[in-house]
Structure 1
Amino acid sequence: MSSLNPMTRKKERIDALAESTAGPSRGGGQVAEAGKVAGGEGTSLLASAWKRLRRNPAFWIGAVLTGLVVLLAIFAPWLAPHDPAARVLIDKVSSANNPVPGPEPGSPLGADGSPFGRDLLSRLIWGSRQTLQIGFLATIGGFIGGLILGTLAGAFGGWIDSAIMRVVDVMLSIPSILLATAIATLYGRASNNTLIVAIAIVQIPIFARLLRGSMLAQRHSDHVLAARALGVKQRAIVLRHMLPNSLAPILVQATLVLATSIIDAAGLTFIGLGAVTDDSPEWGQMLGSRQTQSLFDTFPHLAFWPAACIIVTALGFTLLGESLREALDPKSRR
């Protein structure tokens, strides 16, 4: 029997040891392909976030509440028993000298407390559309403004960053409802457009500061450094690499800001800074007009129903936003 080369014998011993420790392998007795881990397939960020969300009761509560309110606003013309401006109970108000006729067939909640005898339930349903419209448009306006300022501050830094952030700090130092009130009163005539602009300006600093922080974190990431090393222009780096990867926390924050916008809109319309006429009802305006007539002591349900609608809507968006933030935040992952 011929002797084997020492290097050959050493290689055979290593192969035999590898086969014995690897166990059954594929490929006719060959060692299994290296670099593969059983069950080690990766999952995307959205897939892992959804896996946590579906186990979170707060997410489902928030999703159900917001879904119901949105559907109520969309289908208000078909769900409301009457036109919100129709004087369906005016005869009851006049004949009985009663400012708030009680429930009756076709008007489950009775009249709204106005001298016109309008249906309260119809006005609550239509009020969801008006309230959500103000909240959504104000949030979109604040998002766009914050997107512009945050991108400029986070992408370029230097004196641009310092100037923008000092303005943002001044705006954040003023209470939001006070700042929104001051902006709304600058207009000569109160309207819902005034509310949208005022609330949007108040929300801009929140989005700007959050986006600026995300952009600063992206400036030193590996893919941005690689793009700079390859000679990619600054504009392309900001728009294609930094900004898309910084938007996730901003979109989650928009859900939380929407709840704040709805509360701010209700507060401003309550003090009379909304639309002058109440033909298109809004929940805060319904509270304000009935409070002016001093009807809450005798008919507390006139305050309960609009306030409950505001609270439930704001709670739904808050729970939804907090659940999304926890699901997408790497620090809160379990």
Structure 2
Amino acid sequence: MPNPLNPRGKKERIDALAATSADTSGGGVAVATVDDAGHVEESTGVSLVASAWQRLRRNPVFLIGLTITTLFVLLAIFAPLIAPHDPADPILLPEVRPQTNPIPPAREGFPLGADNAGRDILSRLIVGSRQTLVVGVMATLFGLLGGLTLGTLAGAFGGWVDSVVMRVVDVMLSIPSLLLAFSIAAIAARASQWTVIIAIAVVQVPIFARLLRGSMLAQRASDHVLAARALGVKESAIVFRHMLPNSLGPVIVQSTLVVATSIIDAAALSFLGLGNPDDRQPEWGQMLGKAQPYIYDHPALAVWPALCIIVVALGFTLMGESLREALDPKSRR
């Protein structure tokens, strides 16, 4: 019998009691001993990006958005190789009869039929994806650059610079985005693809500027920025090496959502006739506008490009919302 005053005897009795408890609980339970008390297993740390990716790859919403976006980008890149016909070639024009048959129906080799000029609709949809991608991405990039400039000025300097920049941003945000883009595009002497890109980019600038400014103001009061100032680091180095890189995360995530908005706004401007007037270079919004005279008798002319716009915008939106949730510290609790 173990001595009750012996510490080793107490340890043996505790281990025996733990083993008995594990046996009576149904088995398969790990037995903890006194030696395990206070022991913490070593494990490697996980970065924010790695943690976000672990969550995203198990998120079906993100996977659906990523799949749609990837297919759209690949389709736009290889559009000339995938399209079965030349989108500007009026192959079925001899069959177009303005009174009896203005829109040739679907047939072999033309699964979606042709438009009023005898051009293959499927080929125009495929090639039009490239124009839509170019407008959406370029408008987002230009808007991002403008927003980074204004947001960096406001967040880095503060004071009267912050006040002036933010009042300009507030004025821009007070105007409906589509109305502002329409006004800017209408100023151009001649409608083109670049007028649409510039108009949409200007609309996106205040969104990025406010977001970056808020992130940089939070960084100004952080410990590492205060430590850098205490050590005498130049203000420009603090802004561009410490504050700006740590503030770009929310802005990059927001850019994925802005691409979806840019695609919709570009389609709206092209629908209103402010986009590229040359219909030999198809674009989904332009195709919607051309389909209006035939919307009642031949709604498919408008349905197909509208579905393409909806699906692509949905893909970017799902991916952007999933990224924002995965990178948000509050959602990881």
TM-score range, shorter chain: 0.7 to 0.9
User: Could you say which residue in structure 1 is the equivalent of 2:185?
Assistant: 184
1:223-234 to structure 2, matched below 5 A, reads 223-234=224-235
Q: Structure 1 residues 91-100 or 76-85, which shifts more? A: 91-100
Partner AA of 1:50 in structure 2: W
Matched, 1:201 2:213: no
Alignment of 1:8-157 (within 5 A): 23=35, 37-94=40-97, 97-112=100-115, 114=116, 116-157=117-158
Letter in 1 for 2:276: A
- How far apart, CA to CA, are the structure 2 residues paired with 1:40 and 1:22? 22
Per-residue deviation, 1:22: 7.0
Q: Aligned with 2:91: secondary structure?
A: coil
Deviation at 1:37? 3.2
Secondary structure of the 2:325 match is: helix
Question: What are the superposed Cα offsets for residues 127-150 of structure 1, whole Å, 9 maximum, x if unpaired?
Answer: 100011000000000000000000
**Residue number in structure 2 paired with 1:30:** none
Aligned Cα root-mean-square deviation (Å): 2.0
Q: Which amino acid aligns with 1:68?
A: L
Q: Which amino acid aligns with 2:71?
A: L
CA distance in 2, matches of 1:317, 1:110: 29
> Which deviates more, 307-316 or 69-78?
69-78
Unaligned runs of at least 5 residues, structure 1: 1-12, 26-33
AA aligned to 1:190 is A
TM superposition score normalised by structure 2: 0.88
SS at match of 2:294: coil
Give the percent of matched residue pairs that are identical in Structure 1 and Structure 2.
67
1:276 aligns with 2:288: no
Residue by residue over 1:206-249, the C-alpha shift from the partner in whole angstroms, topping out at 9 and shown as x without a partner, is: 00000000000000111111111111000000000000000000
Structure 1 counterpart SS, 2:246: helix
Secondary structure of the residue that 1:243 maps to in structure 2?
helix
In structure 2, C-alpha distance between the alignment counterparts of 1:314 and 1:243, rounded to whole Å: 29
* Residue aligning to 1:297: 296
CA distance in 2, matches of 1:232, 1:324: 34
* Other-structure match for 1:260: 261
**SS of aligned partner of 1:23:** helix
Question: How far is the alpha carbon of 1:333 from its aligned partner?
Answer: 1.1
Three-state SS of the structure 2 residue aligned to 1:123 is helix
Give the Cα–Cα distance (whole angstroms) in 2 for the partners of residues 72 and 155 of structure 1. 41
Letter in 2 for 1:234: E
Tell me, in whole angstroms, the C-alpha distance in 2 between the residues paired with 1:72 and 1:100.
26
**Consecutive unaligned residues in structure 2, runs of 5 or more:** 1-6, 16-32
Deviations 1:179-209 (A, max 9, x none): 0000001111100100000000000000000
In 2, Cα distance between equivalents of 1:264 and 1:24: 62
